[in-house]
Amino acid sequence: MKAQATLLEVRDLRTEFRFARTQWFPVVNNVSLEVAAGETLAVVGESGCGKSMLAYSIMRLLPDRIARPAGGQILLLGRDLASLREDEMRKVRGKDVSMIFQEPMTSLNPLMTVGRQVAESVIEHTACSFEAAHKRTLELFDLVGIPEPGKRFDQYPHHLSGGMRQRIVIAIALACNPKVLIADEPTTALDVTIQAQVLELIDRLKSEMGMGVILITHDLGVVAEWAQRVMVMYAGRKVEESDSESFFQAPSHPYSQALLASVPRPDIEDMADVHELAEIPGAVPPLNRLGAGCTFAPRCLNSMGRCRQDVPMLTEQSDGRQVACFNRKAGTLL
């Protein structure tokens, strides 16, 4: 049991995409999660596993013409966001729950100064004057470590470095003191030094503001450094969840083991314990062509006959972690 208050609880969330004209397939398949105040939950997995679709589903940003909610609840302090009308959701999005997108240049309007973009977010959710929004914007610039806030206010996105643009995106996300922040690969486009600065900033603000953070990443080094809990997704499903220490010491699901075996271990100090890096055979299957049984079975070295026929359900182990596997071997790196 977590001591902190739960801010966001997602229950059996399912999102479907349109295929052809009348067929639908799941991109988020009955996923549940919780995020508490002051906590970072990392969502990991290869590209195509459904991590970003989960984030967009929580934010309700997927277009109706290609996507539809197909079940579940998104409870923010007990209020079900999945049941809100779009005009109601617009009041929540950016205010109570915010998102940092992968690429700042696609998140920012190139024809508008960065200061005005932040100020508009403040005005949208607080109905304050432009003067008050201007003052709040300068405070946010200072908060996220942007030098010379007054000068930066009137600059355009192309005037700024990648790290500065990402700080602008973070300022927009934090403009109204959100309860939950979703960071979707927030450092992908940045060099290593700026990555560390951005992650330190998010972690500091999380503690100062009491936010809950969902960190979507494929970088397990980032997870080891900054996350308290880890959720592993594969083909739109959650296949494992545990605290970070347990995840790196003894991964339980074969896919988790394969992920850790394929990258240098950030948590191993004794070089004698470093394993040879291994490739995960095959690729994540297209989500519109999932077969019967466990979706990881065709790539799994531990698979057996049942794995290709039945879908394993999440079960909770004695140590509190959740795993969806018929033939798990905890701690064995493939």
Residue 274: pLDDT band (50, 70, 90) is: low
Residue 290: pLDDT band (50, 70, 90) is: confident
pLDDT tens, position by position, 291-305 = 889 999 999 988 899
pLDDT at 271: 45
Q: What percent of the chain has pLDDT over 70?
A: 93
Q: What is the phi/psi pair of residue 245, to 5°?
A: -60, -45
Q: Residue 194 has which token pair?
A: 């700026």
pLDDT at 84: 96
The DSSP call for residue 275 is P
Helix residue spans in the chain (DSSP H): 51-59, 86-92, 104-107, 114-126, 130-143, 149-153, 162-174, 192-209, 220-226, 244-249, 254-261
Query: In 3-state terms, what secondary structure has residue 65?
Result: coil
Q: What is the mean pLDDT of the chain?
A: 89
pLDDT tens, position by position, 209-230 = 899 999 999 889 899 999 999 9
What is the β-pairing status of strands 322-323 and 237-243? antiparallel
How many helices (H) and strands (E) the chain has is answered by 11, 12
